Structure 1
Amino acid sequence: MTKPIIAITLGDPAGVGPEIVVKALKNKEVYKACNPLVIGDTGVLEKALNITNISLGLKAVSKPEEGKYSLGTIDFIDLNNIDINTLEFGKVQAQSGKAAFDYLSYAINLALDKKVTAIATTPLNKESFKAAGVPYIGHTEVLESLTNTKNPLTMFEVKGLKVFFYSRHVSLRNACELITKEGIEEFAVRCEKALKVLGIEKPHMAIAGLNPHSGEHGLFGDEEVKYIYPAVESLHEKGVDINGPIGADSVFHQALLGKYDAVLSLYHDQGHIATKMVDFERTISLTNNMPFLRNSVDHGTAFDIAGTGKVSEVSMIEAILLAAKYGPGFLK
């Protein structure tokens, strides 16, 4: 059986992205699961190998089918877009923001053309994007625009626990204001569809409560009474298997133990804290509801340790392996 080709972007060259990529690509399990293809820059990769004291060959290719994909050599597409002599680790730079965008957009186009199965991304820096004049905030916004996808669906996975996010980068006040009966219903239907693509035929989901103890029937907060309970009842009528709202202090643990296939988190930190406390390094972000799968490490550019070789590659390995596991399902 042909192994899936996973496009791996270097992210912001001034961050830890290149280091975690070269570290991950010395792992034999990665090559057992897929054919990894890096989208990056020769000088950046050479620098990362030097920093991490890793001895791997580099093979530049012009298209995915030219790769040999054997442990010991990194196959990569060289966009030649960084002046390595002026690159400064741990600093916001326009050239780094532009390069990170170029890597990502190139990988997206490969995936849209079905030249690669999925994408595994490394961190970029929002300030570097801004310095470069890139008109997007981050990965999700770029993916949304370049794939013409309305509101891509973010899911975290760690040790089998799957968590979807109703809202992402908005204030807590705005996150509460965004909750509506119609919004919850539409969100749950999309989550169910995403789980089926990931291979779960009959998803059993739970939705977390917004307020402590789900508001205790309106004693402290009425969002559950006004919007969430009615949405769940309506979803049941449509045949969607979903429980809740269930207090956020217990529902994630229940799902980790296998009671639910996924939890619907109602705002950013609610689900982020729940997953990252299970295992920070192995919490992986998956972007669903697109023509292909995009996975990402769930940490930032770590400018404070960039260029030192200290960063762990565990999250990068996990992201690549999950891309290989789930990516083919998006192409059916």
Structure 2
Amino acid sequence: MKPILGITMGDPSGNGPEITIKALMKPEIYERCRPVVIGDAVCMEAAASMVEGADGFRIHAIRKVEDAVFAFGTIDVLDMGLVDVSKRLYMKDWKEIEEEVGEEAVKKAYLESHRMCGEAAFQYVKKVIQLAMDGTVDATVTNALNKDYINLAGHHYSGHTEIYADYTGTSHYTMMLAHENLRVVHVSTHVSLREACDRVKKERVLEVIKIADKGCRALGIKNPKIGVAGLNPHCGENGLFGREEIEEIQPAIDEALALGICIPERKPTPPDTVFSKALGGWYDIVVVMYHDQGHIPLKVKGFVYNQERQKWDAVAGINVTLGLPIIRASVDHGTGEGHAGDGSANELSLMNAMDYAIRMAEAKITN
């Protein structure tokens, strides 16, 4: 049986609806899985009208997953009915609306739109988690939401990862980013750089090494090789400029080695070389110490801007939350506020996320 994928529509004023349409216009998706969108049918219909070639596809609004037809040419949408499209505003329309109604009126209208879209995006995520927890869907895939908007709607989370952890009752988890053969997992993510340094503790580093090993095995990698990045330049040069490698990271590595986890170099690797080694096949995954240490190399590799054409040729890479009792893969980009609503968003990252979710679901079913 092909796995059922629950795909959240993302922020209704973002690029999620249109890239979801583009992804589900590809027949190979239906050859590998049974996709159902968690969102608002009216938003998906509006997105289909702006995507070239989508006029022959039917948006099928359903109330429960069991009513989905899972057939190419029909896009099943579990319709939450949360968005009034007459009040949904795209950021690209700001200037035009401002000229019509004035600055203060447009600010008020956008505030109302942001709050509505934040509430809707949050509820889509909450619903797909519920569907995965009760076994209705085999894996979840999330489009981007706007953190400011969900907080404006009264849901105080810093992102998808924290929502998933809360609603699944998970305390030990981490974010994995991946693009092709480069994968990274984080000791900390959405905190200040100062706080991130303070969070480099033996217990947390060891925990993430274990999660990295388990996550690779969930992808079908039988004997994962793990690289562990240092925190400081040159890994601190034996304590000359930082002792985190000596006092926290190396003890975590030693304990992981004692558990039989494969860390080929048996010590932390300088951050300025660890990713080149990973791309060269030294490791299957790299444990990084903070958000940007992992995000920057992934996005340098996966995000390709064409200066001549003034557009993105590729927005690739995915985000997987490891350590959860359910499968969650996500796009590794934002809502694309400046261009959302014009049909130009690139669906490659969503396609990659769906691929990872399918692979993890198949491995879970097999095991």
Shorter-chain TM range is over 0.9
Please tell me whether Structure 1 or Structure 2 has the larger radius of gyration of its CA atoms.
Answer: 2
Q: Deviations over 1:111-167 (max 9, x none)?
A: 011111111111111111122112323211111111111142211111122111110
Match of 1:249 in 2: 272
Greater CA drift, 53-62 or 113-122: 53-62
What root-mean-square deviation, in Å, do the aligned CA atoms of Structure 1 and Structure 2 show?
1.5
| Superposed displacement of residue 65, structure 1 | 3.0
Work out whether residues 275 and 283 of structure 1, in 8 Å CA contact, stay in contact via their aligned partners in 2: yes
User: Which AA in structure 2 matches 1:47?
Assistant: A
Q: Which residue of 2 aligns with 1:149?
A: 170
Q: CA deviation at 1:330?
A: 4.1
Letter in 2 for 1:159: E
2:108 maps to 1:75:
no
Relative distance call for 1:262 and 1:272 in structure 2 (3 A) is same
| Structure 1 residue 313, shift from structure 2 partner | 0.9
The secondary structure found in structure 2 opposite 1:312 is coil
Q: Which residue of 1 aligns with 2:344?
A: 310
Report how far residue 6 of structure 1 moved: 0.5
**Match for residue 287 of structure 1 among 317, 321, 345:** 321
Give the distance between the partners of 2:362 and 2:135, measured in 1 at CA: 11
Report deviation, 1:190. Answer: 2.3
Q: In 2, distance between residues paired with 1:235 and 1:151?
A: 16
Which residue type is aligned with residue 72 of structure 2?
Answer: L
Of the three residues 281, 301, 316, the one matched with 1:258 is 281
SS of alignment partner, residue 7 of structure 2: strand
SS at match of 1:308: coil
Distance 1:238 1:108 in 2: 32
What's the secondary structure of 2:302's corresponding residue?
coil
Which 4+ residue blocks in structure 1 deviate beyond 6 angstroms? none
SS of 1:74's equivalent in the other structure is strand
Moved more, 217-226 or 107-116: 217-226
Matches of 1:144 and 1:155 in 2, distance apart? 14
Report the equivalent of 1:24: 23
Equivalent residue, structure 2, for 1:120: 141
How far did 1:328 drift? Answer: 3.3
Q: Which amino acid aligns with 2:90?
A: F
* Offset at residue 62 of structure 1 (A): 2.7
Q: Check whether the contact 1:97–1:124 (CA below 8 A) recurs between aligned residues.
A: yes
CA–CA distance in 2 between the matches of 1:194 and 1:318? Answer: 17
C-alpha distance in structure 1 between counterparts of 2:276 and 2:31, whole Å: 32
Amino acid at match of 1:143: Y
Inter-partner Cα distance in structure 2 for 1:235 and 1:107: 34
Return the letter of the residue paired with 1:300: G
Hey, what's the Cα distance between the residues in 1 that align with 2:184 and 2:152?
A: 33
* Percent identical residues: 40
1:108 match: 129
Instruction: Indicate whether 1:171 and 2:172 are aligned.
Output: no
Q: Is the 8 A contact 1:285 1:296 kept in 2?
A: yes
Contact 1:37/1:67 (<8 A) preserved: yes
Picking from 197, 207, 227, the partner of 1:206 is 227
Are the counterparts in 1 of residues 11 and 335 from structure 2 also a CA contact under 8 Å?
yes
User: Unaligned stretches of 5+ in structure 2?
Assistant: 92-109, 304-314
TM-score, normalization: structure 2?
0.86
Asked if the contact 2:12–2:117 (Cα under 8 Å) also holds between the matched residues in 1, the reply is: yes
- Aligned to 1:136, which of 136, 157, 160? 157
Mapped partners of 1:151, 1:230: distance in 2: 19
Corresponding residue number in structure 2 for 1:89: 90
- SS where residue 325 of structure 1 aligns? helix
Unmatched 5+ stretches in structure 1 = none
Partner of 2:102: none
Partner of 1:218: 239
1:271 alignment counterpart: 294
Q: Answer 1 or 2: which has greater helix percent.
A: 2
In the aligned structure 2, how far is the partner of 1:173 from the partner of 1:112?
Answer: 36
Q: Secondary structure at the match of 2:301?
A: coil
Partners of 2:268 and 2:158 in 1: how far apart? 31
TM-fit CA distance, 1:200: 2.1
The residue identity in structure 2 corresponding to 1:324 is I
Counterpart residue identity of residue 5, structure 2: I
Determine if contact 2:185/2:208 at 8 Å carries over to the other structure.
Answer: no
Task: Tell me the equivalent position of 2:59.
Answer: 58
